[in-house]
């Protein structure tokens, strides 16, 4: 499927949010997918993944997660300096700011002519943001890829109340981890699924891919696992478009 891309500025209380919008070529409307990046923002690696998802018949909206400070407009490199800058960006952003931006993005997508159903996904820190986006009753389904900090509330400048609010989630939820992820080891995964079940989300899907490292879907660097990436994308597309 052919795609078209544009950069837009989504208004929010903290100022405009720069976002890439990737739309299938053809007659819409289409389901809309809010895609949260990892700490490196709008890299070509993440955009390649976004294009694969858009090619399944989704309007994919990929915002910067640090749109209001010195990292606005910056795609970070996958090196030590880029990692430090991305972590510093997280440490300077409150949960309330992340939430305000989420409301603004979903409001914008909800009013977008080519978008019908609202879906959300995200990677790493963006996977945690995707989980919080699932609190919005408009979100029909969410896929979180190796969300960091979900087990202990580590997100930004403060401790997020994400797991304690799990009962607010009304849409379908899929969480994907790699078994060799040091940021979310087995005990952390056990805590997450236990608290989700305790919140009444006993139909959540938790997939643990054997041998998968943290960020195994990032197609740059030694952690990348192409086979697991293909599996994860196929399962996400099925979860979004093949079920109700």
Q: What is the pLDDT of residues 130-139, one digit of tens each?
A: 999 999 999 9
Give the pLDDT of residue 237: 97
First and final C-alpha spacing in the chain: 23
Q: How far is CA 202 from the centre of its chain?
A: 22
**Per the structure block, which two tokens stand in for 191?**
């805590």
Tokens of 117: 């159903």
Domain holding 79: CATH number?
A: 3.40.50.1820
Supply the pLDDT for residue 244. 58
- Beta strands 17-24; 3-10: pairing state: antiparallel
Task: Give the total number of structural domains in the chain.
Answer: 1
Three-class DSSP category at 82:
helix
Using left for φ > 0, alpha for ψ between -120 and 50, and beta otherwise, residue 188 falls in: alpha
**H or E segment and range at residue 143:** strand 139-145
Strand 172-178 relative to strand 139-145, pairing: parallel
Query: What are the pLDDT digits (tens) for 44-58?
Result: 999 999 999 999 999
Domain encompassing residue 107: 3-241
Token pair for residue 64? 């910067």
Below-70 pLDDT ranges, the chain: 244
- The pLDDT score that the predictor gives to residue 31 is 97
Q: What is the pTM of this model?
A: 0.97
pLDDT digits (tens, 9 = 90+) for 216-230: 999 999 999 999 999
């Amino acid at each position: 499927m052919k795609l078209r891309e544009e950069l837009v500025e989504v208004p929010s209380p903290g100022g405009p949010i720069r976002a890439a919008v990737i739309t299938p070529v053809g007659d819409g409307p289409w389901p809309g997918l809010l895609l949260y990046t990892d700490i490196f923002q709008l890299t070509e690696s993440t955009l390649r993944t976004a294009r694969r998802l858009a090619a399944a018949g989704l309007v994919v909206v990929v915002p910067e997660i640090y749109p209001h400070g010195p990292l606005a407009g910056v795609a970070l490199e996958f090196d030590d300096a880029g990692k430090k800058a991305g972590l510093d960006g997280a440490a300077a952003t409150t949960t309330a700011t992340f939430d305000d931006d989420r409301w603004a993005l979903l409001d914008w997508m909800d009013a977008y002519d080519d978008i019908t159903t609202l879906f959300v996904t995200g990677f790493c820190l963006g996977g945690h943001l995707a989980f919080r986006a699932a609190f919005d009753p408009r979100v029909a389904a969410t896929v979180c890829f190796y969300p960091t900090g979900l087990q202990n509330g580590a997100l930004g400048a403060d401790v997020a109340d994400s797991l304690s609010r799990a009962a607010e989630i009304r849409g379908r939820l899929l969480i994907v981890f790699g078994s060799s992820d040091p940021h979310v080891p087995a005990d952390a995964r056990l805590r997450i699924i236990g608290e989700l079940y305790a919140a009444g989300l006993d139909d959540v899907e938790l997939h643990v891919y054997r041998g998968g490292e943290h960020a195994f879907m990032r197609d740059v660097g030694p952690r990348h696992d192409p086979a697991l990436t293909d599996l994860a994308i196929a399962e996400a597309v099925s979860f979004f478009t093949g079920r109700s």
